[in-house]
Chain A
Amino acid sequence: MKLRIVHQTVYRYDRPVRNLVQSLRLTPSVCEGQRTHDWGIDVTGGIRGPGFRDGAGDWIEGWTVRGPTEEVAVTVTGRVETRDTAGVLRGHRELIHPLAYLRDTGATRADAALKDLAASVADAADSLDLAHRLSAAVSEAIAYVPGQTGFHTTAAEALAQGSGVCQDHAHALIAVARRRDLPARYVSGYLRATTEETAHEAAHAWAEIHVDRLGWIGFDPANRCCPDERYVRLGSGLDASDAAPIRGIAAGQGAETLDVAVNVEEVERFQSQSQGQTQS
């Protein structure tokens, strides 16, 4: 699938701020089934700082805006050619041992209900099968209902209210997978959403579970499937905060408001720029 992505995040402050610093995880992963062309990140008034690939294989870019400013826009544009790998993450160079993803965070800590949910799933022939069952159990337990949870909602809270969005589904799946001793992590990315699906967010999130022999496999309990050619993977972490595409902070008293617009559209062919540029 040929996808054209425009992702803009605009921060507005009611009073001018200075020394805005951001750490961006906004570049598609280098892996099988994902080829990136003409990827560009721009921060208005910003200075591009350090860029490096971290141990998880994510491309991280630091940006600073000296200010004073009342508005900063982070704009990402580019094109990605995708192919379905049945959710399997292959050809992705990373150095972190999977066992490092058994650690809990506040957002993914299992309370009694999550422990019960994890225990309710029957043992399977292998860990891949178990991961599928856990994902299905989370899809059943948490209905996709936008607007009822926020960025700081934990897996336990989402399960208690029985509804949430992709972030909550991912957190819950991570929590139950770790309870069953399967390394699990949060993945942020984009989704080419069509109308039939339940989850319509173009800025999307899902979970990856590490299974023997195959490695990391993506699961999207919000859409009851594994990531396919509609998905673009950006980066991973222990939870949503750890995997956030944008982490930033500014000096000053200004209250912040945020506008996000993501457009992922399928195109017949990439336009005339003949020189495809791949991130490495």
Chain B
Amino acid sequence: MSYYNEMYEGSRVRDPYARLSQWVETMPADFRQMKQAEAEALFRRIGITFAVYGEGGDPDRLIPFDMMPRVFEQAEWRRLERGIKQRARALNAFLRDVYGRAEIVRAGRIPARLVYQNEAYEKAVVGVVPPRGVYSHIIGIDLVRTAKDEFFVLEDNCRTPSGVSYMLENREIMMRMFPGLFRGNRIEPVDQYPDLLRRTLESVAPAKCHDRPTCVILTPGHFNSAYYEHSFLANLMGVELVEGADLFVDGEFVYMRTTQGPKRVDVIYRRIDDPFLDPLCFRPDSMLGVPGLMDVYRSGGVSICSAPGAGVADDKAIYTFVPEMVRFYLGEEPLLQNVQTWTLWKDDDYKFVMEHLPDLVVKEVHGSGGYGMLVGPRSTREEIEAFRAKIEANPGNYIAQPTLALSTCPTFVEEGLAPRHVDLRPYCLCGDRIELVPGGLTRVALREGSLVVNSSQGGGVKDTWVLSE
């Protein structure tokens, strides 16, 4: 299999990488090692040691940072940006629809059972229309590239995608260590993200809020692997970071305890999952949430971002229908393609997949983080047969996709630069406007030949540049 290397066209260095190529060539090896050690020390000092959403593993482990940036040209990025915003609009239209009249189900374009029997479908919010009709306010869309003009969406994250603090810190550290690089290149900034996020949250304040909205970030607490990110974002946005016990319901509203007395809260950016939000509506044993929160939310007294129930749009089974959503709600052709997906609960697909296991990637429908998956071409015959038995036991739990020829980016290894596979997670903000900072989080599979970029599987991160015109 051949892979698209984002830095080269044949043996020629592509224009956006020209200066970086020079930079690397003139860099002495010992200087590079010194800088790599410096970067690691910086990350440790800042304390950014957490796993990306749902990846599990040791929360205090440092995710390796690669100093070689990934670069997009302005034109490449504009195309991606249009595709991402289009997809974000369709996902929110879908959520509005399935919690309302469900026209897409009535029209027979998505099977009713896939929606209503989905674990993430919350019947408690049926009929509730959040401010501006937005359910998912921060959408992380995972993209892979297979050729110069060929991008595919691997998955959508409509609940609480994390990792954006890496995007911000990677840039910060690169600028601190290599200020010269940023003088010579016209790189679009990403540091406006916290302001845009706050503006987005304020734009979806409930109608009952008449002053400047009070926003908070609700965290499960410091045991959570992404706690660093929660406090980092709260700090940059200038909003309070609260735990469930800091909030309480009184009458028709939610308040936070402050040293000056109770203060009404209008918008909650929650980083805890639906089942734990409110013991009076969901899991009665949850200690992380706020009792009565859902009644206040459902009667329009507070906004919750993302809205409870938003997860029904990002399930791997629903994923196969996102291009259909784009056509159905927007009347447009999807600008970003899905990866071809076989769903093993369909007989034909099952038969095909079982005959081609060595060539395919098989994933659990509700799995994440690179666990519980089979990468056929990289597995031994024993591994494949063991996985076959798991599929046979519960076919409905799996989907399969072709093994994609993920693009590579030059990455620092012992001997210098070497190609390593990458993906990209941009963060799309949806409020009164849909906004996207130019860039995102690039994850890189540091092991030679590996196609799995998850940090739990030996993945690292890179700064991601979008060059201005």
Contacts and interface: CB of A to CB of B under 8 A. Distances in A.
B250 A47 contact: yes
A103 interface: yes
A174 B119 CA distance: 18
Q: Which of A48, A55, A241 counts the most B-chain CB atoms under 10 A from its CB?
A: A55
A49 B296 contact: yes
Interface stretch (A16-24, A201-209, A219-227): A16-24
A60 B250 CA distance: 16
A247 interface: yes
A52 B296 contact: no
Q: Is the interface of B mostly helix, strand, loop or mixed?
A: loop
B298 A97 contact: no
A62 interface: yes
B116 A54 contact: no
Given A23-B295, A95-B127, A249-B291, A66 B280 contact: no
B292 A23 contact: yes
Interface in B113-152: 113, 115-117, 119, 121, 123-128
Given A51-B299, A64-B251, A95-B127, A102 B117 contact: yes
Interface residues of A, number: 30
Interface string B71-97: 000000000000000000000000000
A22 B112 contact: no
B335 interface: no
B292 A96 contact: no
A145 B123 CA distance: 33
Q: Which of B112, B121, B123, B128 counts the most A-chain CB atoms under 10 A from its CB?
A: B123
A248 B250 contact: no
B292 A21 contact: yes
A91 interface: no
Interface string A1-32: 00000000000000000010111000000000
B294 to A, nearest CB: 8
Contact of A249 (B100, B123, B128, B280): B280
A249 B285 CA distance: 11
Contact of B250 (A55, A64, A95, A97): A64
B298 A19 contact: no
B126 A55 contact: yes
Contact of A52 (B99, B102, B121, B298): B298
Contacts of A19: 248, 250
B249 A49 contact: yes
Nearest to A249: B291
B252 A21 contact: no
B281 interface: yes
Contacts of B250: 19, 47, 49, 64, 66
Contacts of A238: 123
B102 to A, nearest CB: 7
Given A23-B295, A49-B292, A64-B292, 14 more contacts: A21-B280, A23-B281, A23-B292, A23-B294, A47-B250, A47-B251, A49-B249, A54-B298, A55-B124, A62-B299, A66-B250, A248-B280, A249-B280, A249-B291
14 contacts: A23-B280, A49-B251, A50-B295, A52-B299, A54-B126, A54-B127, A55-B126, A62-B252, A62-B296, A62-B299, A96-B126, A99-B113, A238-B123, A241-B284
